[in-house]
Amino acid sequence: MYIYKKLETNLMTLIKSISGIRGTIGGKPEENLTPIDTVNFASAYGTWIKEQRNKEKYKVVVGRDARISGQMIQGLVMQTLVGLGIDVVDLGLSTTPTVEMAVKLEHADGGIILTASHNPKEWNALKLLNKEGEFLNAEEGQKIIDYVQKSNFDFAEVDDLGQVYRNDAYIDLHIEEVLKHQLVDVHKVKKAKLRVVFDGVNSTGGISIPPLLEMMGVEVVKLYCEPTGHFPHNPEPLAEHLTALSEAVVKEKADFGITVDPDVDRLAFMDENGEMFGEEYTLVSIADYVLSKKKGPTVSNLSSSRALRDVTEKHGETYYASAVGEVNVVAKMKEVDAVIGGEGNGGIIDPQLHYGRDSLIGVALFLTHFAEKEMTMSALKASYPQYFMTKEKVQLTSDLDVDGILKTIETRYSNEDVTTIDGVKIDFPENWVHLRKSNTEPIIRIYTEAQSQQEADDLAQKFITELQEIAQA
């Protein structure tokens, strides 16, 4: 038995999980995301839609990011649904939150988003929505996987085939809904006369965020806003991937920079000096603004920054933590009637608009907050509690009892503030560590946060060592 720190990229190229299927394009079925895998998964989803809705006519909304493989995958998905007798609303190039809103506005039975989020261009995925435009829960997702394994599909006869209806209006409709939001103050933003640089990573952020900014009176310097799917850099919005944005913000003397991931559900900012504002602080700052106008609880997942708790309590409200995963954040938000929530990766969920991570409402709320504060971006960041995070993972041999290892950690630290709704999170007075196992591979993810980067790094290394000792015992 052994355990070791894993630094290289995981080599799995087809991953089936409760949230959908994702993989690399090409290769052999069951090893990569091929046309056969795509059709099987779309068939399973369509079968699930028909069985759980049990009605005469069905409708599913389908949209995609700008990935090179997107048009091929979307064609396969849509025609498979047509073959099952399901009508399809084709949004074409779109964003994840736009598809989520379209499901509700269309009174559809579900939706499929074709995007591999922040993964490189060779990846694609099918992300599945229910009739509320929200991601499937664990039970629903498992049913889809079961249907795929059984491959017992019943396709429609010729007179009962579905139809495809094209609708290119939904990004505009999405922007309209954002601008009508009661906490979005377009007049105040226009008065501030802001200038920003936006990096659209050559995906659908480039056709959704700049129009929103311009309608709010913001001068936009555009980087990589052509939806070609040829990502100019690693599409995950991290500092090391955003050197062009950093340089442009300084060169253009912009108030700040903005970037999103390819499907526009993760939002990150850069200050006037070309330094990252921090993805964790996207939610923190927007929650600070929302709570100043509307009282109520906030929610993020267990691996998100403690700064949200601090800001929430500053406003006299209560913070709640959920298990990791958007569906879990949404469930907790509904349970406690949260006024704002999301994930520390830059995902903003505003229930007044819809229950999904949405960079468009995030941008609009942040612009209003920034215009109201009348300070620089760096000063705004300095006004919040300062925390630093480390994210590591360790891989184990398949024969190890991961649950048993985590249980040992839980027992060792039983005198501390321990949460076990998703792995083991230990809240120490000055820092925290969160250990959770992957659903798809034998690894333990380690997240730590502290008041300095060195302290966060040291805490992560301490638990890597402890995990190794437990595994070898």
**One-character DSSP codes across 374-413:** TS-HHHHHHTSPP-EEEEEEEEE-TTS-HHHHHHHHHHHT
Neighbours of 37 (CB within 10 A): 22
Q: Cα dihedral sign for 433, 439, 440, 441?
A: positive
**DSSP β-ladder status, 20-24 and 14-17:** antiparallel
Choose among 30, 177, 130, 84: nearest CA to 113.
130
- Report the alpha-carbon distance of residue 438 to residue 324 in Å, rounded: 11
> Are 59 and 109 contacting, i.e. CB atoms less than 8 angstroms apart?
yes
Q: Which residue has the tokens 């820092």?
A: 431
In which region does residue 346 sit, left (phi positive, over 0), alpha (psi from -120 to 50) or beta (all else)? left
Tell me the HSE value of 460 on the side-chain side, using a 13 A CA sphere: 21
Neighbours of 403 (CB within 10 A): 10
The residues that bridge with 4 in the sheet, in sequence order, are: 395
- Report the alpha-carbon distance of residue 76 to residue 68 in Å, rounded: 14
Tokens of 37: 């895998």
- Catalytic residue IDs: 117
Helix, strand, or coil (residue 417)? strand
The terminus-to-terminus CA distance of the chain in angstroms comes to: 9
Q: Contacts for 430-434 with beta carbons within 8 Å, 24 or more apart?
A: 430/455, 431/455, 431/456, 431/459, 432/306, 433/459, 433/460, 433/463, 434/302, 434/303
